[in-house]
Structure 1
Amino acid sequence: MKRIKPDYYARTQWKRRMAAWMSTALLAASLTGFAGEAEAAQPHSSYWYPNTLLEWSPSKDKDARFNRGTVKLEDERIQGSKVNGNAKEEVKVLSIASMYPSTSGAPSQGSEKFHTYTFSNWQYIDKLVMWGGSAGEGLIVPPSSDVIDAAHKNGVPVFGTVFLPQTEHGGKIQWLHDLLKQREDGSFPVADKLIEVATYYGFDGWFINQETQGGTPEDAAKMAEFLTYLQQHQAPGMEVIWYDSMIEEGPVKWQGALTDKNEMFFQKGNQRVSDNMFIDFRWQFKDEKNGQYDYITPFLNSPAKAAELGRSPYDLYAGIDVEAKGYEGRFNWPVLFPDGKKATTSLGIYRPDWAYNSSETHEEYMNKEQIFWAGPGMNPANTSQPAGTDPLAWRGIAHDVVAKTVLTDSEFVTHFNTGNGHLFAVDGKVVRSRDWSNRSLQDILPTWRWIAETDGKGEALKPGFDFGKSYYGGSSLQVAGAVNKGSSTHLKLYKANIPVEATTEVSLVYADNAKDAKVKIGLAFSDAPERYEFFEPGQWTATGANQDWKQGSVKLNKYKGRTIAGISLQFESAADQADYRANIGRLAVTQVNDKAKKPHAVTDLKVIENDFRDGIYGDARLSWEAPKQKEDVLYYQVYRVHPDGKHELMGMTGNTVYYVPEMKRSLKEEATKMVVIPVNRHYQQGKAASASFDWPEYPKPTAAFKADKTLIAPGETVQFTDLSSEVTESWSWSFPGGQPASSTDQHPKVTYPEEGTYEVTLTAKNSVGEDRIQKKLITVTREAENGVGNLALGKSASASSFVNEKEAPPFAVDGNAATKWCAVGDGPHWLTVDLGAEHKVSEFVIKHAEAGGEPAAFNTRAFSIQVSSDGKEWKDAVSIKDNTQGISSHAIELTSARYVRLQIEKATQGGDTAARIYDVEVLGLK
């Protein structure tokens, strides 16, 4: 997406974040694959080029079943009353967000990582585009299954991305032509595949972003025909979103408005070409000083242009770019949302995942997320700013947009589960004590975050999510602070439109640290949505594994025929308490007479694939059939049974396939049992089914080690680090010429007093056997008394290829960690350094993508380092198969060489094939 230089806005607003690495076309989404793990069975979200998409079919793709969404789009979504008088009811919001840090390597069903982009402010957006695609990985990216589930649960349609990048970011005009190929009958094979993918995976359409330069009028006409074909052949409910880029003459020329030049991609006569258009960011700008450009006027004319075409102005989304600065940027709100008038168009937000990407911790992310959506005051009902505030400053999406809700059914249950955690609890019992994330499991979270009001002395209790205590899932709602006798905190939580029947009841599960405090359930009804009535259960009963939660309910039969419009909680105390805390583990509206059946066991449960590492780590793909009785199953819980009988939750899914990430073998167990339990919509467990897999024979160790340096002066000390396999139980080292001459420590330090070249021997042992490795490794010479230097600094470098002159080979040996050599394409890639003369080399240091500020997903995975005296005959000095580090050091036996070659076999941790090397150091004697 193109930026221009603004006149009165901060210039950095339009720069891409991490511009140093954007030239490799990282406009994408995914998690790092962890090198060295058992992950042959790990399913990943799909990505393709146009031609490779044509080869795809679900029957040939073993990951396809794992990538299917299981939640249908909730179509009963209402706006209801608004809590902020500034908000405009007609406005819709389109979010274009990268849900992962890169296109490749995105796990299909969550991960073992807590700090992930668990977006949850669905109430403010109407459509989500999962942004992704890059020249080095793939251009066509469907949303992952967990994103589909979370969006659909909240009534938000979700779209995949077709991204054709600019040529400076690796784009090729051939890819455009591949996309637009037609059969003799006029049909478009890639369009047919796009429809097939969306139908099979269960999402709602595609966002088409064509930014590759070099298009012709014929290309533009064919693109409009391609979009029309999608409209005419896609399944009911699917949509196409077009980005304001290409114009009717063919080139890419961003308009910042709906104009005569781009209307052909929006509407043609009675034919809808695209359902929405995302308008480029420049709509905000006008050169008031020199009059060189005016994008505001054409933008303000866009509603009239839309009406002329028979379309709503709210099918247009005026884009704002928050990728680089988030809410610290400045935006022309008065043009888009004029006071006292209707909004000019709807709002499009490019990269609101800034809140996550710019945060070091999850706590920081959630704090930024709150400011981004609810405003600087973190209260969606009060986004007012002090007099004199810059009108272009951030004010929160809630200031201009009315929150929507899907709470329209007669039943609603939430455990305030955000879709990630440090633990997982089931009915108050912790069944997992390790980090996890899976957006499919996210509950419908509070509409209003946060509206906490006090009616007495003191401040209101502070609400938030607590990841240390949960009743079901990985989190709970917590309120904390001082409570005072005679005062209360009213916490408004959910907008709703729930009809009350004779059998309706509302229930609550909570835990607190006070005997004198009370928690009441507040309900507002549609005939008076601002007035809440409070209900206290007549009896609280202890519940949970440790009986440390309280459960109570209230029947609402007296309110039959009314409609619940708001749900809240009230906290009050009969005594002062300075450190009051309450955790809300479950809040529900259900029907007393609706007893969901406990599901029968699944059938045909089996391990369809697994992989092992080092004999003690293994993963597994499971599949099963839903219970034949056709019960309403909400989720399936997947457990591992340990040798002591303890059940550990591996994860949950709504699908009938699940990938269990790498598990560590318990002692020397020969087999591991996996259990699957269906769960109904009331979160009650059904009957269990089990299947097992066998472990390989318990292994003897594999000995390995490294030294922090191999070229030293007499009297220096070397730190040895054991790298033997994890099953090693004891170590025996031999250091001829060293002090000490032997050791049984795992990581010994050894001093060498005399010059010479010395061998090092390590024997790794366990109860099964032993392994021995010997290296002639340590060189001690007085030549090293003046230190070891970087022989490659500033020397001549050449490579297999490079992206442009700013990322050429010399930037890998300039000693500057902010510059790099980058090469795209399938590879293999190589970089050669001429040291100018033959030198004695002892170590190499490679600075990979992460060292330059890029995601760890782009660190080089597999590579070798070769040396040569003549540049023709090469020998391997280092061979690495599973690197994950941003900076890797490789000490070797002292070797004479003039030429050093870095041979890259796998450029990244995932499917991206672009090499990114920020520095190559060759250490040795000058």
Structure 2
Amino acid sequence: MTRTPPTRRTVVVSGAAAAAALLAPATAQAAPATGAAGAAPKKRAAGTLQPYASYWFPDSLPSGTPGEGITWRSLKQWTPEGDADLAFNRSTVPLAPRFTPVPVNATARADQARISSLVSFAPTAGNPAQGAANADYYALTHWAYIDELVFWGGSSGEGIVLAPNAPVVDAAHRNGVPVLGNVFLPPIAYGGQLRWTRDLVQKGADGRFPIAEKLVRVAVDYGFDGWFLNAETGGGDAALGAQMLAFVRELKRLGEPHGLRITWYDSMTTAGSVDWQDELNERNQDFFTASDTMFVNFNWNTTKLASSAKLAQDLGRDRYELWAGIDVESNGWNTSVDWDAILGSGGEHVVSYGFYRPEWTRNQLPDGRTPGQFHAADDRFWTGESRDPAEPGGSWRAPAAVVADRSTVTALPFACSFNTGHGLKWYDGGVVRSDAAWNQLGLQDRLPGRRWVVRTTGRRPAVTLDFADAWRGGSSLLVDGTLDAPTTVELHATRLPLTAATTVELAQRVESGAVTVELGVALREPDRPGDPLAYDFLPAGTLKAGDWSEAAVRLSSLGTGTIHGLAVRLGGSGAVKWRLGALTVEDTAEQVAAPSGLKVDKASGDGEFRLSWKAATGVVRHYEVYRVLPGGGRRFLAGTCAQAAYVKGLAREQGENTVTFELRAVGESFAVSAPLTVQHPW
């Protein structure tokens, strides 16, 4: 049954204009506002060294004085040389290529509908550049179903051009997902000023578009993939519409050599007015053809999407370059959606779809929420009520049921410690190296895309990402339940080379019961969507309750070829709790070169430090900063993919005249380099 959406006027009157107009709550007022986490921007005290994610106005600034914790900046005046936080905001992880394995269920389609996701990770102002000492964070992990991530936010009181912070980009790129910054021109009712639109599309005396050039420069220097353009400030005319179109075309031309992309939001028309069409038509098609994709406003219907798809094809474009907007900010998986209008009742998808604010999975939880509660909700959103993408179901048409998953696991060495990018503690080798809660999405592993496919003839145990213990990072995979038949838990879809020297190492621990563990290796993909992978199983140990242990499984008995999937099969009887802390696949031992030039660039009397170094040669996954304690112990302080780190909250230890920092480079298999140290006097 087709959903009858509210009219735009009805939505505005009802107070939900944020959703219909693609406005985050932070944009509904000119004063500093709350963001996705509901926390006001923190005051940036004089002299603080904390680096934040960047935001600007195109050129001219608002009148008056910015609110507490807010800095007004002009993008036109920005230069990389004058950007004191650039080293902390720069993503260094390249966009990984990915492949599409045979879908794990018969309803998911490859090479049809795709998914864009518009996410507000934090407030516009006061968003730390490299994570924070807090585990309550939207640690998105279901990258396998996402084709584009938009770093959503902005407000008339803070800034309307947002560059994504590096941890988000690093995590997305590791999983093959491009990330777009956001250009948001607010409605006048929410503080928007038409002069900002004119500032954006201004031409210089030389006929060039200076803000387009700056947008390209920012994306390239910061290491993200393009821009989402959202022009909602009314009052424009045909001349402004023509100028905007010329600007978009120039932005596209300038960005193409760098691989940048543009998504246009269905708001401004070529007549210069803001008039949401809820479809692709003659009033906005020129903006679509000037961009890579277009996000269609929410009040679409079956007829509008069908005609949009046809027009896209008539224009020589892929119809799946249209995102049909689905607002899930308020109701998440309870949102009423006319799925057949998007996905087609005959199995052929009509267009792609775009989720607006799926971080609802975190925000709808009560105060005091835990990382485990968030991931349970997020798994339900992306995988469905069954939490098993091989058997999706329920009224919510979860992405796993309709979109084929993708993977970037194609080269050795490969390792996963089931680290989600946040945690209650930091572990290394099963040992707690910091008791502080943390989030840093750039440290997230390439997690299994299909969570969780469990095959057994007996009772299905619970399979989760758990935060009570870990091998490294902040979490591990936990299987908790009664084993009354062999149980296979599928892990990564891969295309890894298999040689006579290939070895898989498992770090595992049994908390209760006894478990026989086998490693599953699939050497070919199934013939049809929905057919299971066929695994060869190799022994990986029989364990009783105890400490962490490591097992190495040589794959030489399997010959050579390509590994298409990895799994574990558990045997036992009765109730068990078994953890998998790490999975490593390699054919030679990884060697990691040490970085050089570690130095303390700035320090404050409040125990804040900015450090930098020169990159290590070769492949480096990330860097880790520790504090060397009196007596020789080490405490984890920070991890980053950049060549700069910020740490705070340090205090002088008894008898200490200097603080000693230790830096190590970490490789793809989590091998570490020799340490590099620097001391700084208290």
TM-score (normalised: structure 1): 0.67
Where do 5+ consecutive residues of structure 1 fail to align? 268-272, 285-295, 386-392, 696-926
Equivalent positions of 1:474-493 (< 5 A) are: 474-484=474-484, 487-493=485-491
Amino acid at match of 1:553: A
Amino acid at match of 1:599: A
Amino acid at match of 1:265: F
Instruction: Tell me which of 520, 523, 531 is aligned to 1:522.
Output: 520
Q: CA RMSD in A?
A: 2.6
Instruction: Tell me which of 669, 672, 692 is aligned to 2:679.
Output: 692
Equivalent positions of 1:561-580 (< 5 A) are: 561-573=560-572, 576-578=573-575, 580=576
Name the structure 2 match of 1:549.
Answer: 548
Displacement of 1:604 in angstroms is: 2.2
Percent of aligned positions with the same letter in both sequences?
34
1:99 aligns with 2:101: no
Name the structure 2 match of 1:437.
Answer: 439
CA separation of 1:184/1:252 partners in 2, compared to 1, >3 Å: closer, same or farther?
Answer: same
Per-residue Cα deviation, 1:88-143 (whole angstroms, up to 9, x for no partner): 2211111111111x101111111111111111100010010000111000000011
| 3-state SS, counterpart of residue 621 of structure 1 | strand
1:374 aligns with 2:375: no
Equivalent positions of 1:516-915 (< 5 A) are: 516-528=514-526, 530-537=532-539, 548-573=547-572, 576-578=573-575, 580-591=576-587, 594-600=588-594, 602-613=595-606, 618-627=607-616, 630-667=617-654, 669-695=656-682
Contact 1:540–1:551, Cα closer than 8 Å, also in 2: no
Instruction: Tell me which of 482, 497, 500 is aligned to 1:499.
Output: 497
Name the structure 1 match of 2:159.
Answer: 138
Q: Which moved more, 1:523-532 or 1:367-376?
A: 523-532
Displacement of 1:644 in angstroms is: 3.5
Contact 1:520–1:534, Cα closer than 8 Å, also in 2: no
Displacement of 1:556 in angstroms is: 2.3
Per-residue Cα deviation, 1:719-765 (whole angstroms, up to 9, x for no partner): xxxxxxxxxxxxxxxxxxxxxxxxxxxxxxxxxxxxxxxxxxxxxxx
Contact 1:375–1:395, Cα closer than 8 Å, also in 2: yes
Runs of 4+ in 1 over 6 A off after TM superposition: 6-9, 17-21, 36-39, 538-542
| 3-state SS, counterpart of residue 266 of structure 1 | helix
CA separation of 1:559/1:528 partners in 2, compared to 1, >3 Å: closer, same or farther?
Answer: farther
Per-residue Cα deviation, 1:683-703 (whole angstroms, up to 9, x for no partner): 2222222222233xxxxxxxx
Contact 1:259–1:298, Cα closer than 8 Å, also in 2: no
Cα distance between partner residues in 2 of 1:21 and 1:516 = 51
| 3-state SS, counterpart of residue 187 of structure 1 | coil
Name the structure 2 match of 1:781.
Answer: none
CA separation of 1:339/1:608 partners in 2, compared to 1, >3 Å: closer, same or farther?
Answer: same
Instruction: Tell me which of 333, 339, 360 is aligned to 2:339.
Output: 333
CA separation of 1:445/1:8 partners in 2, compared to 1, >3 Å: closer, same or farther?
Answer: farther
Name the structure 2 match of 1:414.
Answer: 416
Q: Which moved more, 1:415-424 or 1:638-647?
A: 638-647
Instruction: Tell me which of 348, 352, 360 is aligned to 2:354.
Output: 348
Contact 1:32–1:106, Cα closer than 8 Å, also in 2: no
Contact 2:245–2:270, Cα closer than 8 Å, also in 1: no
Cα distance between partner residues in 1 of 2:417 and 2:548 = 13
Per-residue Cα deviation, 1:408-464 (whole angstroms, up to 9, x for no partner): 2243210000011111111222211111110010001111112223223xx221111
Amino acid at match of 1:478: L
Cα distance between partner residues in 1 of 2:43 and 2:654 = 24
Displacement of 1:466 in angstroms is: 1.6
Name the structure 2 match of 1:310.
Answer: 316
Contact 1:5–1:14, Cα closer than 8 Å, also in 2: no
Displacement of 1:525 in angstroms is: 2.7
Cα distance between partner residues in 2 of 1:6 and 1:209 = 17
Instruction: Tell me which of 207, 220, 227 is aligned to 2:228.
Output: 207
Determine which structure has more spread, i.e. the larger CA radius of gyration: 1
Amino acid at match of 1:44: Y
Contact 1:447–1:494, Cα closer than 8 Å, also in 2: yes
Name the structure 1 match of 2:69.
Answer: none
Comparing both chains, which one has the higher relative contact order based on Cα–Cα distances under 8 Å and sequence gaps of 6 or more? Answer: 2
Per-residue Cα deviation, 1:829-883 (whole angstroms, up to 9, x for no partner): xxxxxxxxxxxxxxxxxxxxxxxxxxxxxxxxxxxxxxxxxxxxxxxxxxxxxxx
Instruction: Tell me which of 38, 42, 49 is aligned to 2:50.
Output: 42
Amino acid at match of 2:610: R
> Which structure's residues are more often helix, by fraction?
2
1:65 aligns with 2:87: yes
Displacement of 1:238 in angstroms is: 0.9
Cα distance between partner residues in 1 of 2:146 and 2:237 = 35
1:399 aligns with 2:404: no
1:283 aligns with 2:292: no
Name the structure 1 match of 2:463.
Answer: 463
Cα distance between partner residues in 1 of 2:559 and 2:81 = 51
Q: Which moved more, 1:328-337 or 1:353-362?
A: 353-362
Name the structure 2 match of 1:751.
Answer: none
Corresponding pairs, count: 648
TM-score (normalised: structure 2): 0.90
| 3-state SS, counterpart of residue 624 of structure 1 | strand
Instruction: Tell me which of 266, 271, 274 is aligned to 2:291.
Output: 274
Contact 1:38–1:611, Cα closer than 8 Å, also in 2: no
> Which structure's residues are more often strand, by fraction?
1
Contact 1:508–1:588, Cα closer than 8 Å, also in 2: yes
Displacement of 1:23 in angstroms is: 2.5
Cα distance between partner residues in 1 of 2:391 and 2:207 = 55
Per-residue Cα deviation, 1:381-431 (whole angstroms, up to 9, x for no partner): 22234xxxxxxx422121211111111224321000001111111122221
Amino acid at match of 1:54: K
Amino acid at match of 1:182: K
Cα distance between partner residues in 1 of 2:568 and 2:560 = 23
Amino acid at match of 1:283: W
Cα distance between partner residues in 1 of 2:145 and 2:308 = 24
Per-residue Cα deviation, 1:211-256 (whole angstroms, up to 9, x for no partner): 0001111111111111110111113321111000111211111111
| 3-state SS, counterpart of residue 50 of structure 1 | coil
Amino acid at match of 1:255: Q
